[in-house]
Structure 1
Amino acid sequence: MKEFKHEELVEATHNYSKSHLIGKGSHGCIYKATLKKGQTVAIKTPSLGLCKLQDTSKIENEAHILSSISRNRFLVNMLGTNRNSSGHMVLVMEHMSGGVLHDLLHLTTPGSSPPSWCRRAKMAIQIARAVEFLHESKPLIIHRDIKSENILFDSKSNARLADFGLAVCISNYDSLSQLVDSVSLPAGTIGYLDPSYTTPCKLSTKNDVFSFGVVLLEIISGTKAIDVSRAPASIVEWSIQLKEENRIMEICDRRVNMPQHMKCAIRHMLVLAMQCVSSDEELRPSMTEVVTKMERFKVSIWLDMIKCLVNIQRRKKDRFKYVQHHHR
């Protein structure tokens, strides 16, 4: 992994000025910077509060996780690291210019409009592939904080999974029950956090599967994971209730008209999302199973679209024949 010079990063961010600040979270700050070679990057530093507390474990953990895996087109990859003047870790990351999934779905970006159903299906598959890559890595990686705020888009509108501050690297899957000492407490974000993940020894890939299921419901519904104006406020409980009442398609975002050729695939995606958020961990699919099913949905979308186009052409021909016949 490349070691960047402290002076280069200071110059590229104008000494980490507010004008370069593009993101802020509980673990750190993100600055947009253009390096001397013209490459635009994102520079992640630990937050001032954490530095004062001498707690930079999250950013150190992220550096450790990302340096242990190969670059992947479904992740926001790390390009290198640096130590600032205080000796704290700084990460140089790929810059994602396409925005954040949370903002896109909930229209917090001025002038934005809800994503099309085709784009939603595409991003869902890309996110699933990102999580699958982590779960299939050697050593295995559990993200522990999959949520719409941690899914960014690159310049080509491809979805990428970000923020590995809470991720856990496991060299031996069979040793999960011995992780009590190395994983302090269950971690994640309310609304996305698996209710089954109550103690460190309950950590498993199925926790990420649950969180992915919540994101999938969020993508399809266009509503937030927790919304106090909704009853129930939890997107999981609300969706399960609609499914039990045989109203599963009412989960779908009504702001965007759904093409006929998408309806079958979206219904299948909703059923898959329900499986992912099942209270019974044994019923949740693996991420490899999720990706396999979603790829089938993609094929069915194309087939249904072709059928729709054929039917449209057939109706046009029939209409033309009808007009020709009545004008003779």
Structure 2
Amino acid sequence: MEEFDYEEVVKATENFNPRKMIGKGSHGVVYEGVVVKDSIKRMVAIKKPSEGLEDNSKLENEIQVLTSLGQNPHVVNLIGTTRYDKNKKKLIVMDLMANGTLHDMLHENKTPPTWPKRVEMAMQIARSVQFLHGEKPVVIHRDIKSSNILFDSQWNAKLADFGLAVRGVDSLSQPAGTIGYLDPCYTTPDKLSTKNDIFSFGVVLLEMVSGRKAIDVCKTPSSLVEWAMRLIEQKLFKEICDGRVAVPDNMVATVSYLLRCAARCVSENEDERPSARDVVLGMERCFVERVSRFLPSWKCVLVWLRKKIVISVGVQSHERRIRCIAEEEGEEDDAVSSANKVSITIRQVLAHVTFDSHEFNCCQTVSHQTRFGQ
């Protein structure tokens, strides 16, 4: 972890210019900026305490937790810190998440995410929780919500904001979190456990599938969990799905699985909630099975490829390439005569295949008659 000069951070944010502000929470304000290290410019996010906030404990806690964590592709990376006043309070310098939050993607952007993207995000978020819960001692985030899930420049989802996180099961920590995502079972300090995070993750899953906010006072019931659980119990999965984007036939079963998983995560009975590891393994198993069912058999592939392969380099280019090799080895005649017997790997074949969608669909062994709940 690097230690930055305060003047360097001030310059990077243009003296914390409001135009540079990209986020604001209960205990901190986040600015984007550019720092220079070894003549290399790097885009960063800089978090400082909110104006007038005397209590800097949440920011200090975030630094301690992030410092203790190893690198993980699904958690926002801490780059360094800087001290900024006589009381030695610190600012946090992190990787810039250039593409905003999951909350914005679901509720603010004009174009809602596709279903394949939602499935990918679900897996990435589940893996971030698994990573935290696999630490020794365990890390409990306590504030998993859509506005704390950020996207990097490649649109990978990462968990952020560790101001409320705790290392180990601290029975002295007062319950904390965000209404709508907060586990209703977490009412006293001794109720702290990883299952609190699992509940919040379940709410995020429901939010991603439905496109509805965790709490929406304009709707009845206002609670996403209450509304969704009624429909899940009746197996009305389609009624929950975000109506702005139609669910493709070949993803119906996968989305149904996500809803059933979410229902287990938000169960009133903590013992029925899965671990983060079980969530990840279940998702992987579901997704792999669905993909394999929709892939044609190898026999079908080989028959189909025999008819439809189109190699971008023709026979003449093969001849030219072989002639060059042959000239070096002094075997030109034999090499050219075998130009039509050049062997290629499966990877090369697939890299040059031109697909005919009608014929490919004919190879599929699973019908598109699948429906929700089946």
TM-score by length of 2: 0.77
Counterpart of 1:3 in structure 2: which amino acid? E
C-alpha contact 2:232 2:259 (8 A) present in aligned 1: no
For 1:32-43, list aligned pairs within 5 A: 32-36=32-36, 37-43=40-46
* Percent of paired sites with the same residue: 51
Say yes or no: does 1:70 pair with 2:70. Answer: yes
Aligned equivalents of 2:294, 2:217: Cα separation in 1? 37
* Equivalent residue for 2:260, pick from 249, 266, 271: 271
Q: Provide the aligned C-alpha RMSD in A.
A: 1.8
C-alpha contact 2:139 2:165 (8 A) present in aligned 1: yes
Structure 1 match to 2:244: 255
For 1:223-302, list aligned pairs within 5 A: 223-302=212-291
For 1:25-174, list aligned pairs within 5 A: 25-36=25-36, 37-50=40-53, 54-86=54-86, 87-106=88-107, 108-109=108-109, 112-170=110-168
Aligned equivalents of 1:63, 1:315: Cα separation in 2? 52
Q: Which runs of 4+ in 1 moved over 4 A?
A: 309-312, 314-317
SS of match in other structure, 2:287: helix
Aligned equivalents of 2:359, 2:52: Cα separation in 1? 63
**Aligned length, in residue pairs:** 301
Q: Deviation at 1:294? A: 0.8
**Per the alignment, do residues 131 and 12 of structure 1 end up closer, same or farther by CA in structure 2, a change over 3 Å counting?**
same
Q: Deviation at 1:229? A: 2.5
Say yes or no: does 1:313 pair with 2:359. Answer: yes
**Per the alignment, do residues 310 and 90 of structure 1 end up closer, same or farther by CA in structure 2, a change over 3 Å counting?**
same
Q: Deviation at 1:78? A: 0.5
Aligned equivalents of 2:98, 2:132: Cα separation in 1? 23
C-alpha contact 1:261 1:304 (8 A) present in aligned 2: no
Larger Rg: 2
Q: Deviation at 1:306? A: 3.1
C-alpha contact 1:150 1:162 (8 A) present in aligned 2: yes
Larger RCO (CA under 8 A, 6+ residues apart): 1
Aligned equivalents of 2:357, 2:229: Cα separation in 1? 35
Structure 2 match to 1:202: 191
**Per the alignment, do residues 310 and 203 of structure 1 end up closer, same or farther by CA in structure 2, a change over 3 Å counting?**
farther
Aligned equivalents of 2:188, 2:362: Cα separation in 1? 62
Please list every run of 5 or more consecutive structure 1 residues that lacks an aligned counterpart in the other structure.
Answer: 171-175, 318-328
Bigger drift between 154-163 and 224-233 goes to 224-233
Aligned equivalents of 1:204, 1:194: Cα separation in 2? 10
Q: Deviation at 1:311? A: 9.7
